[in-house]
């Protein structure tokens, strides 16, 4: 149970860091991610595993390895009721430490712009997404977007 809760915690932190990096529209224009991108638009599809595959797949493999190592560490023994093996415990500690240091290393990366870090708070994201009244709201989500001051288009 502790290992699974630790995985959820790790997953949440990594997902929030990557979501903030994904939403850094302050440097260059990016298209929106949508579950079903509109045809003839610049929208991109969402990731199947929530995060980019270069993060999701290694995390999935390392988590499976860590769970397997922990399951090999402890076993039921008729004579002493609980037995354990030192090598799988040691390897579990090594893999867990690598995961922790990888997360700490990723947390030192700087975002490409001075964006407001909102995590996945819908209210904060909504507050930053109010365009001017004269902007074409019907087609804005289909193109490339960028954070910052929006000005009316010249006639």
Alpha-carbon span 150 to 24, nearest angstrom: 16
Inside any domain, residue 126: yes
Alpha-carbon span 10 to 138, nearest angstrom: 38
Inside any domain, residue 55: yes
pTM of whole model > 0.95? Answer: no
Q: How many domains does the chain have?
A: 1
Write the DSSP symbol of residue 37: P
Domain range for 86: 2-145
pLDDT tens digits for 24-77?
656 677 777 777 777 888 777 776 667 778 888 898 999 999 999 998 988 887
Inside any domain, residue 98: yes
Inside any domain, residue 154: no
Query: At 33, is the secondary structure helix, strand, or coil?
Result: strand
Inside any domain, residue 150: no
pLDDT tens digits for 37-51?
778 887 777 766 677
Alpha-carbon span 7 to 76, nearest angstrom: 25
Inside any domain, residue 152: no
What does the pLDDT read at residue 120? 65
């Amino acid at each position: 149970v502790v290992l699974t809760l630790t995985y959820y915690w790790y997953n949440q932190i990594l997902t929030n860091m990557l979501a903030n990096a994904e939403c850094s529209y302050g440097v260059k224009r990016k298209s929106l991610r949508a579950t079903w991108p509109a045809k003839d638009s610049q929208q991109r599809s969402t990731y199947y595993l929530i995060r980019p595959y270069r993060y999701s797949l290694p995390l999935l493999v390392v988590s499976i390895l860590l769970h397997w190592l922990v399951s090999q560490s402890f076993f039921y023994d008729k004579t002493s009721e609980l037995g354990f093996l030192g090598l799988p415990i040691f390897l579990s500690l090594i893999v867990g430490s690598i995961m922790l240091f990888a997360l700490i290393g990723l947390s030192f990366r700087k975002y490409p712009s001075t964006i407001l870090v909102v995590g996945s708070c819908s209210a904060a994201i909504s507050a930053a997404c109010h365009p001017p009244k004269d902007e074409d709201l019907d087609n804005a989500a289909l193109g490339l977007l960028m954070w910052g001051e929006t000005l009316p288009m010249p006639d």
